[in-house]
Structure 1
C-alpha cells in the first residue's frame, strides 16, 4: 500500500469509515468525528500524499479554489488503489465502506464518488466543492452522498457545491444536502445530520 495510514478495527457488522483529512491534517484528524458518527466503526485513515509548502493535501491546486484536475483524477485513482489494497490486507471485503471527508478531504472523497463508484458508494462530505468538471457518466444509482456546507464559507463557495450536487443527481445518486449558517467548519448540527444519514 502506497499511503501512510492508520487502521482501527471494528466489529464486522459495523461500517468502515474512510477518513479523509483537510489541508495540513493527518491520520488522527477525523478520528473524534468518526467516533461521534459511529462509535463502533472500523477506521481507515490515510494521509494525503501531496505536500503544499509542508502541508499534506490529496491533490495539487493551481491557486486557492483552483484545482489541478488532472492531478485530482490521478490521485483519486491512487486513493482507490490504496482502499482496494487495504480491504484485502485487513479483511474488509464485503464490509460497508463510507468515505468521510472535510475540505480538501471532502473534495477527494467527492472525486472518488464520481470517478470510482466501484470503490466508494457512500460518502459524508463536509465543506466540499465540485472536485472535477465533466466527470464520466457513471450510473450512480447505488451511490448515497451527504453534503454539508456553510452559507458563509469563502473557501468552499455554495455555487461550486451546487454544481457538484447537480452532477451527482444527473447520474442518479441519492444526495442529502445540509446547510448551516457558518463558514469553513463542521458544525454540531451538521454532525447530527450526518449521524442520522449514516444510520439510515
Structure 2
C-alpha cells in the first residue's frame, strides 16, 4: 500500500468508555493510538486507569507491522518517512471526520510510541481540532509542517503531556529531547521523565495521565 492510499478501516476500530456511567453524547472522546506492531485493542486495557466519563475510540493502524499493525514503516529510530506519517494522519482525520460519534464532542488523543508520533502529527495537521494530547514514549516528526504556526498561535495553547522513561532503549534520547523542545514552543507542555522506565507504561505514567486528563478535559 502506498502512502497516498492509506486508509483507516472503520470496521476495525473499537469503541468503548472508561468505567462509570455511560458518557453522554457531548462527553469527551479520547482516541487511543497504538504503537508499532500492536493493534486497536491494546490501549483499551488502560481504561480502568483513566478518568471516568470518557468515550474511547481505538483505530487500527493501516499498515501491517511486526505481529500487528503500524502507522508508518520502521525506519531510522525517531526519523520515519514524513510522507507516510502525513498520509497516516490524513487517514486518521478522514476516519474521525466521517464518524458522527466524534462530530460534537471534544476530542483528545493518547498515543504510545509510534501512536505518540501520530498524536503529535494530528495536532499539527489540524491545529484547532483537539482538546488535549498525551504522548507516551513517543516523538514528533523532525520536519516543518504547514500547521505548526497555527498550533503555536492557538490561544490558549493545547495542553500536552509528554511522558517517557529515562531508560527507553527504543526511542533515541535525541528524538525525545527534540520533541520536548518542539512541544514546549508549540503547545502547553507538561513533561515527565520517569527514572528507570524503559519503553513502557507503569503506574506512575498512568497516574499522571489520569490527573492530566481530569484537569484538561470537560468531564461531568
Partner of 1:105: 115
The yes-or-no answer on 1:138 pairing with 2:149 is yes
The yes-or-no answer on 1:93 pairing with 2:103 is yes
CA distance in 2, matches of 1:150, 1:114: 24
Q: 2:14 aligns with which of 1, 6, 31?
A: 6
CA distance in 2, matches of 1:2, 1:22: 15
TM-score by length of 2: 0.81
Which consecutive segments of 4 or more residues in structure 1 shift more than 6 A? none
Partner of 2:191: 177
Partner of 1:37: 50
Between Structure 1 and Structure 2, the one with more strand by share is: 1
CA distance in 1, matches of 2:173, 2:28: 29
Cα deviation, residue 64, structure 1: 4.2
CA distance in 2, matches of 1:122, 1:184: 22
Moved more, 8-17 or 37-46: 8-17
Gaps of 5+ in 2: 1-6, 216-220
Deviations 1:65-101 (A, max 9, x none): 4411111011111111111112x2x2x3231211111
**Contact 2:79–2:141 (Cα < 8 Å) also in 1:** no
TM-score by length of 1: 0.88
Q: CA RMSD in A?
A: 2.0
Partner of 1:119: 129
CA distance in 2, matches of 1:194, 1:68: 29
Q: 1:26 aligns with which of 39, 48, 59?
A: 39
Cα deviation, residue 109, structure 1: 1.1
CA distance in 2, matches of 1:138, 1:112: 14
**Contact 1:27–1:45 (Cα < 8 Å) also in 2:** yes
**Contact 2:32–2:58 (Cα < 8 Å) also in 1:** yes
